[in-house]
Every structure is written in C-alpha cells, then in structure tokens.
Homo-oligomer: A and B are copies of this chain.
Amino acid sequence: MSTTTTNPGPARGPIDHEVRDQVIVAATEHFRLYGYEKTTVSDLAKAIGFSKAYIYKFFESKQAIGELICANCLREVETDVRRAIDGVDRPPEKLRRMFKMAVESSLRLFFEDRKLYDIAASAATERWQAARSYEERIQAMLQDILRQGRETGEFERKTPLDEAAGAIYLVMRPYLNPLLLQYSLDHTDDAPAQLSSLVLRSLSP
C-alpha cells in the first residue's frame, strides 16, 4: 500500500487526468461565452479558479487547450457522421448520409454557437494537428464507403481508390472546413443533396 502512495508515477496519472479534464470543461464553457481569440490563459485561470502557473503545468499554451477542445468537437462531428452511416446498408445511401450529417453537425457545433467557430477557424487556418487528423479520418471513411460500393458492384472500379476519395473530399471540403462553410451558408440546405447526386453519378459503374 505504501508503494502506491509514495510512488509519484502511478498516483499522479489519474490526478493529472482529472485536472486536465477540469480545465478542458471550464475552458470550453469559457470560450463558448467569450470566444477563443480574445481569451488569455490569465482570463481562463481567473475564471476557473486555478493559478496561471498551475494551468501551465498541464498545458503548454492556450493553443494546447484549444487543440483539445477542437479535437473533442471534431470527434463529435465524426461520431454523428459514423452513426448516420452505420444506420444504412447501401454504400450510395451511406455517402449521401455522410455528406448531409457532416454539414448538419458542423453547422450545429460551429455556427449555432458562434463562439466555438473561433477555435475551429484557428484550427483550420493554422492547420492544427486536430484539424489535420480529422481530415484524414474523413478521407478514410470515404475510402471505406467506396471500397464497400466497389465490392457490391454499385460503384465503378476503374478510378484509383485514393484518387476518387481525394476528389470527393475536395467536393465536400467547402462544407466541412469552417472557414469555407461560413461563406457557404446560403447553400447548406441544397448543396449536400445536389453534390451527393453528382458524386454518385461519377461513381456509377
């Protein structure tokens, strides 16, 4: 028993984890209310009731906190999309759902609550790791759907898989990337369906 209490390694682990979570929850709420760009780590420390030095023990910068919040948001979009895809069988319908849900979920997260848009915009502008791995995961999802559709014979097989997935990703990008999405709000009602139809025509065997 004395081993576990005196060994700082295993004991610190869960505590670190809890404090980090506490900072993230409080910071998400704070950014949601006051915006990411305008908030400093000092503001955040004051709001959370921790010292600035204490926060810096767990996060090396404001961006490190923003990155985690952003990763959580993008993970949420991804979960929504995955659930929408898993709800249907046929690859063409999966593709339609993927596009539709990605737009709906992004709009909800970044625009209903305009303050979180700030973080997403910084992530996209500065190409944070969170934004880059989100892009990669979306492209991987696309490749999976294409592979399934090729197996069922519903999609053509001539175009190299990564070429097809890359081009479809480019078609979706204006509705996934928050910087572009802000200028596409007039099109979010119709574009997903219109573009899904075009993409599906491009995939017909």
Q: Which residues of A contact B (CB under 8 A)?
A: 124, 156, 159, 163-164, 166-168, 170-171, 173-174, 177, 179-180, 183-184, 187, 191, 194-195, 197-199, 201-203
Q: How far is the CA of A56 from the CA of B48 in the complex (A)?
A: 56
Residues of B within 8 A of A183 (CB): 124, 177, 179-180
User: With A180-B183, A180-B184 known to touch, is A170 a contact of B194 (CB < 8 Å)?
Assistant: yes
Residue of B nearest to A198 (CB): B167
Residues of B within 8 A of A199 (CB): 198, 202
Residues of B within 8 A of A166 (CB): 194
User: With A171-B171, A173-B174, A180-B174 known to touch, is A194 a contact of B163 (CB < 8 Å)?
Assistant: yes
Whether A187 and B170, one on each chain, are in contact in the complex, defined by CB atoms closer than 8 angstroms, is yes
Residues of B within 8 A of A184 (CB): 173, 180
In the complex, 27 of the A-B residue pairs with CB atoms within 8 angstroms, ordered by the A residue number, are A124-B183, A156-B201, A159-B197, A159-B201, A163-B194, A163-B197, A164-B198, A166-B194, A167-B194, A167-B195, A167-B197, A170-B191, A170-B194, A170-B195, A171-B171, A173-B174, A173-B187, A174-B174, A174-B180, A177-B183, A179-B183, A180-B183, A180-B184, A199-B202, A201-B201, A201-B202, A202-B202
Residues of B within 8 A of A168 (CB): 198
Residues of B within 8 A of A159 (CB): 197, 201
A interface SS class:
helix
Residue of B nearest to A201 (CB): B202
